[in-house]
A and B are shown apart, each in its own frame.
Chain A
Amino acid sequence: GQQLNQSPQSMFIQEGEDVSMNCTSSSIFNTWLWYKQDPGEGPVLLIALYKAGELTSNGRLTAQFGITRKDSFLNISASIPSDVGIYFCAGGYNKLIFGAGTRLAVHP
């Protein structure tokens, strides 16, 4: 079946630093999504990607759909304290599966 690996599991960075996280799959996907979850809240959609090679930005966030269709990355530039949370990737072909999440902590 489809498998999704998300890395890193956690990151602890200084405010102002850039952040990069990625997801890789064992098979070709036609959709990649990135969500952020604040503690005790539901995941919120950040960026949706539907085409290989697609590069999309949402403010300080940028995500790309890998050209092999088996990976995606999310970059956060100039991190701020409110970027703290869990970032999930999700992707699939005939169904959506979720990565285990990247826990981001930002030190002021």
Chain B
Amino acid sequence: DSGVTQTPKHLITATGQRVTLRCSPRSGDLSVYWYQQSLDQGLQFLIQYYNGEERAKGNILERFSAQQFPDLHSELNLSSLELGDSALYFCASSVGLAGFSAETQYFGPGTRLLVL
């Protein structure tokens, strides 16, 4: 158990709908990262938050948005869903030390999204 929790575990929805994925980082971690993994693909970095502020952006679509709340949990919002958005969505967290360093990330169990 990494200490990172994600809900829900599974999500089935229809095209055009909007969903929210939730992540709670490990106790004490300030940074949260979101990744998308399509079938048999690698991990695509979407976005990072540090202590409530957006820190880095990857290949995140404009239809997707995220935020990190004062209690440090994070939500990823996916809107106007398309069939191609079906994937595993992972959250990871790290300590969030200041300065430049590639910190060790700990992953949650993921949310499997199926868009029909």
- Chain A residues at the B interface, C-beta cutoff of 8 Å: 29-31, 33, 35, 40-45, 48, 88, 90-101
Chain B nearest CB, measured from A21 CB (Å): 14
CB-CB under 8 A from A35, the residues of chain B are 107
Choose one: B45, B56, B101, B109; the contact of A42 (CB below 8 Å).
Answer: B109
Inter-subunit contact B102/A48 (CB<8 Å) = no
Known: A40-B112, A90-B102, A90-B105. 20 other contacts (CB 8 A): A29-B102, A30-B102, A31-B104, A35-B107, A41-B109, A42-B4, A42-B108, A42-B109, A44-B107, A45-B104, A92-B102, A93-B102, A94-B101, A94-B102, A95-B56, A96-B103, A96-B105, A98-B42, A98-B43, A98-B45
User: Once the chains are docked, how many angstroms separate the CA of A46 from the CA of B56?
Assistant: 25
Check A93/B100 contact, CB under 8 A, given A40-B112, A43-B90.
yes
Check A40/B101 contact, CB under 8 A, given A98-B42, A99-B42.
no
Q: Which of B4-30 touch A at CB < 8 Å? A: 4
**Interface range on chain B (Cβ under 8 Å from partner):** 20 to 34
Inter-subunit contact B104/A30 (CB<8 Å) = no
Per DSSP, are chain B's interface residues mostly helix, strand or loop, or mixed?
loop
CB-CB under 8 A from B110, the residues of chain A are 40-42
Identify 17 residue pairs between A and B in the complex whose beta-carbon atoms are under 8 Å apart, listed by A's number: A29-B102, A30-B101, A31-B103, A31-B104, A35-B107, A40-B110, A41-B109, A41-B110, A42-B2, A42-B4, A42-B109, A91-B102, A93-B101, A94-B100, A96-B103, A100-B42, A101-B42
User: Once the chains are docked, how many angstroms separate the CA of A43 from the CA of B37?
Assistant: 11
